[in-house]
């Protein structure tokens, strides 16, 4: 399950009448959420995994289904101060089926490790998390609990845990948000910090981007198409693809590739040379859909699909977030 988590870390409603006229031009406002309102978002996750040359890592798909809640508390000079609340509990209609949704348990274990059911987060103007208020206090509490839970003959773990978390946060101050609140990144990916004008149905925009993956900065190309406009709901629907430099993705995945190749050799012996190019490289594609409110620029639906192969492991991760 450790390898499965690392792969996941590397790789990651009905609409009304639609307008299809290519001549239509619209403006999508900058993200401008209401202050003080709590908004619930339904999060659905699905991860399917296959290992080439070996048994499947998990039987079928691992799924998650829960609700994250967002309250935008105030607007700041360069963004927003928000409160994200979470518990990773199965929604009532699914309760009793916990074995079908193991990713809920994974998130609940992480929530218990951090010892919080909410995070106060500073974001940029598009809602991208930048840092967590009180992160040092959370880490100190993690250290205390780790030391209190150890057995009489166990070495102290709290200090090492504290040092590890401090190193992670020094590199990524928003790490806790990404680990505990998947909705935050997904929603922010669809939102903008300034108005987008003269967008035409059917037109495709192309942007050069950079994507941090496993400590490697990978160049990529984002293509975004305004697919349609729901005039009744006042929502714009975009579809998008993201192409990432595959050599950079392979470099970012190298440690996991090496581990999996050694594991495969222990299982099947020598690997035929003709298979090594496939098993020692990595590839990934991203695609998805955004639905954005034309009233306040807030994402009301996000879907992201990541299809990847890292050495002998192939995965497909589908994430959906729907505003309730």
pLDDT per residue over 121-134, tens digit each?
Answer: 999 999 999 999 99
Per-residue confidence band for 61, with pLDDT thresholds at 50, 70 and 90: confident
Which CATH number applies to 2-128+174-323: 2.30.230, 1.20.1460, 2.40.50, 1.25.40? 2.30.230
Stronger pLDDT, 154 or 291, i.e. the higher one: 291
How many Å from the N-terminal Cα to the C-terminal Cα in the chain? Answer: 32
User: Taking Cα atoms as reference points, which of 241, 229, 209, 239 lies closest to residue 307?
Assistant: 241
Q: What pLDDT sits at residue 269?
A: 81
Residues 164/158, Cβ–Cβ less than 8 Å? no
User: Taking Cα atoms as reference points, which of 109, 101, 111 lies closest to residue 47?
Assistant: 101
Kindly state the tokens that stand for 228: 């349609």
Kindly state the tokens that stand for 295: 């009233």
- Answer yes or no: is pLDDT of 6 > 50: no
Give me the chain's average pLDDT, please: 86
Stronger pLDDT, 168 or 14, i.e. the higher one: 168
Q: How many CB atoms lie within 10 A of CB 162?
A: 18
Per-residue confidence band for 102, with pLDDT thresholds at 50, 70 and 90: very high
| Highest-pLDDT range among 52-56, 157-161, 223-227 | 223-227
Calpha distance 242→161 (Å, rounded): 35
Domain ranges of the chain: 2-128+174-323
Kindly state the tokens that stand for 173: 């101050």
- Average pLDDT rounded to a whole number, residues 61-81: 95
Q: What's the per-residue H, E or C state across 82-104? A: EEEECCCCCCHHHCCCHHHCHHH
- Answer yes or no: is pLDDT of 88 > 60: yes
Residues 82/70, Cβ–Cβ less than 8 Å? yes
| Highest-pLDDT range among 5-9, 155-159, 217-221 | 217-221
The pTM for the full model equals 0.85
- Report the share of the chain in percent with pLDDT over 70: 90
- Answer yes or no: is pLDDT of 183 > 90: yes
Per-residue confidence band for 154, with pLDDT thresholds at 50, 70 and 90: confident
């Amino acid at each position: 399950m450790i390898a499965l988590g690392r792969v996941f870390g590397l790789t990651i409603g009905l609409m009304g009448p639609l307008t299809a006229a290519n001549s239509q031009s619209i403006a999508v406002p900058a993200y401008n959420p209401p202050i003080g309102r709590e908004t619930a978002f339904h999060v659905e996750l699905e991860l399917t995994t296959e290992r080439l040359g070996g048994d499947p890592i998990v039987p079928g798909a691992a799924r998650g289904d829960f609700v994250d809640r967002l309250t935008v508390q105030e607007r700041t000079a360069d963004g927003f101060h928000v409160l994200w609340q979470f518990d990773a509990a199965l929604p009532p209609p699914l309760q009793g089926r916990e074995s079908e949704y193991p990713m809920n348990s994974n998130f609940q274990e992480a929530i218990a490790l951090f010892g919080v059911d909410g995070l106060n987060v500073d974001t940029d103007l598009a809602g991208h998390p930048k840092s967590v208020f009180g992160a040092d206090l959370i880490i100190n509490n993690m250290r205390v609990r780790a030391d209190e839970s150890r057995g009489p003959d166990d070495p102290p773990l709290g200090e090492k845990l504290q040092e590890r978390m401090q190193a992670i946060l020094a590199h990524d101050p928003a790490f806790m948000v990404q680990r505990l609140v998947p909705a935050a990144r997904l929603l922010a990916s669809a939102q903008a910090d300034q108005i987008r004008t003269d967008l035409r149905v059917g037109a495709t925009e192309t942007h050069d981007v950079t994507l941090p993956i496993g400590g490697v900065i990978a160049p990529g190309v984002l293509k975004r198409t305004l697919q349609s406009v729901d005039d009744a709901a006042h929502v714009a629907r975009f579809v998008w693809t993201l192409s990432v430099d595959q050599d950079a993705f392979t470099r970012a995945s190298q440690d996991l590739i090496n581990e999996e190749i050694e594991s495969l050799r222990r299982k099947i012996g020598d690997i035929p040379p003709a298979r090594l190019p496939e098993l020692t490289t990595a590839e990934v594609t991203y695609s998805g859909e955004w639905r954005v409110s034309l009233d306040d620029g807030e994402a009301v639906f996000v879907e992201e699909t990541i299809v990847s192969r890292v050495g002998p492991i192939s995965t497909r991760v589908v994430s959906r977030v729907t505003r309730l």
